[in-house]
Structure 1
Amino acid sequence: MEHAVIQLALEPRRRRPAPLPPTGPVSSLLDPRFKYQRACETDIRKTFQRVIAEQKKGQRL
C-alpha cells in the first residue's frame, strides 16, 4: 500500500492594516486614550479654566 505525500504551498496570510488611532476628543470610557483620574487628584479650577478658554476660542468639547 503506497501513501501519497501531499505538499501544500502555503503563502503567509496577509495582515490587516492596523486601525488608525482615533482623533478628536475622547468620547467613551472604552476609548483607549481615556485616562481615569481620581477626584482627589483633579484640580477642578484648572478644568473649568480650560473649558472656558476652549469655549471662548469656539472649540467644541
Structure 2
Amino acid sequence: LGKIPTAKALLPGGSTKVNLVIPAPADPTDYYVEVDKASEGNGDIPECHEDNNSSKVTAAQCPQPG
C-alpha cells in the first residue's frame, strides 16, 4: 500500500511512529506491516533483533454512521 521513510536515524533501542493514510475498507480487512524488508534473510539495515519488524491488524473496519 505504501512506503514511508523515517524522519531521522533510529539509535539502538529507538523507535518512531509513521502514518499511512489509506481509503476506508467497505468490509472488515486485515492489514500487515513489515519494516526493513529484504527479499530474503535479514533486512537492509543491520540490527540486533531482526525478528520484530512486522505486525498485523485483523478485521479492521470503520464504524458505520447512524
The normalised TM-score by structure 2 is: 0.19
Between Structure 1 and Structure 2, the one with more strand by share is 2
Task: Please say which structure displays the higher CA radius of gyration.
Answer: 1
Greater relative CO, 1 or 2 (CA 8 Å, sep 6+)? 2
The normalised TM-score by structure 1 is: 0.20
Between Structure 1 and Structure 2, the one with more helix by share is 1
